[in-house]
């Protein structure tokens, strides 16, 4: 081990940046703390404009050769990265649980296998990416996807490696080079990804990882004239700053932002299913952008729905996320916990009633909370909390349910519970959301478009939509008689 290596649950993690195929240390560091018990994990290299400039320069230098690499070879390397992830699932899982507090069982069984799938999916999609040629007055139109250049990818702390590779994989598959900036509250698995990618044979400079505070290095990355794409997942205020920074160079943006999604429960719904869907919204201690945090329930069934929900929600086990029996772990950071508690305290002061929860617990744990008697225009209904806090409202008619569902500035997702397929079709056609689930939740396919409406985001990624964003899409038109002098 060296002075730049941490041992996290028995796993060696390098704390330095990864730039141009080499480890690079900064003069300053920042402290990484585990939300499980507040213990210090270690000191992480704290990037400055110097490191960001070096990373972009490395990505720019590596771009021509990687862009010229055949689709088959790029796909082979992405599959090799997936192989490396699968060999280290247990290590990646325990490191990320230590770093961000999400359930170890979820990391083992779902999240880290999805990380590998991200690389495999986009490798395979690259090989079949095509658009059929078409004719215009005898001329042939041929559509192609050209690599755009260096990409800056800024990722969140709630699902660090899964959401990072959701961006890294298509960007690399498209023939671009990458500068990845992981969230400062959960940087460790991005460092491990750099090791895995290098071992898989990814050329130096194609993937670069720069750690640090967004407030200190974000602008240097997003305003850089050599950056050709920026993809960001996070808050609306940060997205505004990124958009302003990128505007000078007209750098294209993909923004996946906040949500305040509804769960609509109609009287004809299977109530047991509806309650299961409702309790699922406490996943990852409520730190899921897609979570349906606003329950809109038909007034004729709200009493029974609430009774069943309370029984099921209060049976959830909250505690150490490394314990297989735990259902809800801690929130990521004391600052986030204070934010969550502030939302709840203000809501209760304004007249809301805590059906369950409504208070902090020891450490960085917040009790699963359901607030009733909330006004539609109240802060707790309109603003994203990003914690285990849900609200309950009622509706009398289908029209009122749709109106309430759409009455926020967000539009990321929505969930509908109903036993009537015709109602499902009517309601989903009117909901403002990038994704709508009917009688299910969190079923995700990488070939589907993903993104938000209104303040929940700009653009769509997934399948060909990802390549549309990470590439310069070109149409080549060829005349029918242009070859008569050839040969």
Q: Residue 122: enclosing H or E segment and its boundaries?
A: helix 112-128
Instruction: Report the alpha-carbon angle 450-162-178, nearest 5.
Output: 85
CA distance 77 to 361: 46
Catalytic residue list? 256, 289
- DSSP readout, 135-186? EETTEEEEEEEEE---EEEE--SSSHHHHHHHHHHHHHHTT--EEEE--TTS
* Pair of tokens at residue 30: 């920042």
Strands 369-372 and 262-265: unpaired
Token pair 């990003």 is at which residue?
386
Sheet holding 178-181, edge to edge: 22-24, 17-19, 207-209, 178-181, 151-154, 229-233, 253-256, 457-458
Residue 328 carries which DSSP code? B
Q: Which two tokens stand for residue 407?
A: 């009455």
**DSSP, residue by residue, 354-367:** EEE--SB-STT-B-
* Residue in the block written with tokens 């015709």: 422
Cβ 197 vs Cβ 169: under 8 Å: no
For residues 190, 96, 455, 389, the Cα torsion angle rounded to the nearest 10 degrees is -170
Look up residue 370 and give its two tokens: 């359901």
The set of residues, in sequence order, having a beta carbon less than 8 Å from that of 73 and lying 6+ positions away, is: none
């Amino acid at each position: 081990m060296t002075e730049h290596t941490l041992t996290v649950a028995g796993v060696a993690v390098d704390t330095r940046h990864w730039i141009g195929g080499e480890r690079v240390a900064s003069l300053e560091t920042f402290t990484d703390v585990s939300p499980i018990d507040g213990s210090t994990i270690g000191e992480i290299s704290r990037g400055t404009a110097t490191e960001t400039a070096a990373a972009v320069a490395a990505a720019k230098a590596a771009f021509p050769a990687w862009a010229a690499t055949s689709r088959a070879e790029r796909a082979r390397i992405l599959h090799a990265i997936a192989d490396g992830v699968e060999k280290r699932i247990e290590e990646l899982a325990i490191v990320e649980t230590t770093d961000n507090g999400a359930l170890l069982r979820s990391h083992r069984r779902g999240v880290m296998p999805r990380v590998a799938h991200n690389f495999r999916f986009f490798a395979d999609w690259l090989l079949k990416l095509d658009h059929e040629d078409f004719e215009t007055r005898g001329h042939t139109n041929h559509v192609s996807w050209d690599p755009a250049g260096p990409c800056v990818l800024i990722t969140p702390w709630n699902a660090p490696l899964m959401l990072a590779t959701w961006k890294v994989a298509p960007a690399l598959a498209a023939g671009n080079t990458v500068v990845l900036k992981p969230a400062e509250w959960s940087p460790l698995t991005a460092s491990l990804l750099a090791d895995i990618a290098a071992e898989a044979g990814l050329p130096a400079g194609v993937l670069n990882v720069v750690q640090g505070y967004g407030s200190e290095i974000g602008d240097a990355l997003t305003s850089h004239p050599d950056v050709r794409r920026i993809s960001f997942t996070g808050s609306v205020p940060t997205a505004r700053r990124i958009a302003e920074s990128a505007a000078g160079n007209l750098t294209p943006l993909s923004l996946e932002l906040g949500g305040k999604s509804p769960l609509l429960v109609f009287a004809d719904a299977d109530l047991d299913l509806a309650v299961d869907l409702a309790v699922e919204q406490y996943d990852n201690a409520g730190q899921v952008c897609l979570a349906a945090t606003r329950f809109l329930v038909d007034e004729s069934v709200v009493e029974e729905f609430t009774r069943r929900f309370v029984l099921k929600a209060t049976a959830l086990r909250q505690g150490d996320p490394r314990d297989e029996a735990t259902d809800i772990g801690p929130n990521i950071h004391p600052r986030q916990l204070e934010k969550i508690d502030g939302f709840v305290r203000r809501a209760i002061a304004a007249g809301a009633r805590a059906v369950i929860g409504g208070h902090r617990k020891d450490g960085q744990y917040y009790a699963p909370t359901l607030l009733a008697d909330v006004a539609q225009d109240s802060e707790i209904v309109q603003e994203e909390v990003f914690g285990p806090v849900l609200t309950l409202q009622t509706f009398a008619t289908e029209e009122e349910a749709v109106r309430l569902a759409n009455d926020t500035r967000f539009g990321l997702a929505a969930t509908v519970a109903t036993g009537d397929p015709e109602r499902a079709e009517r309601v989903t056609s009117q909901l403002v959301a990038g994704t709508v689930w009917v009688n299910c939740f969190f079923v995700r396919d990488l070939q589907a478009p993903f993104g938000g409406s209104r303040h929940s985001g700009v653009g769509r990624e997934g399948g060909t939509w990802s390549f549309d964003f990470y590439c310069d899409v070109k149409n080549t038109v060829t005349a029918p008689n242009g070859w008569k002098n050839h040969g």
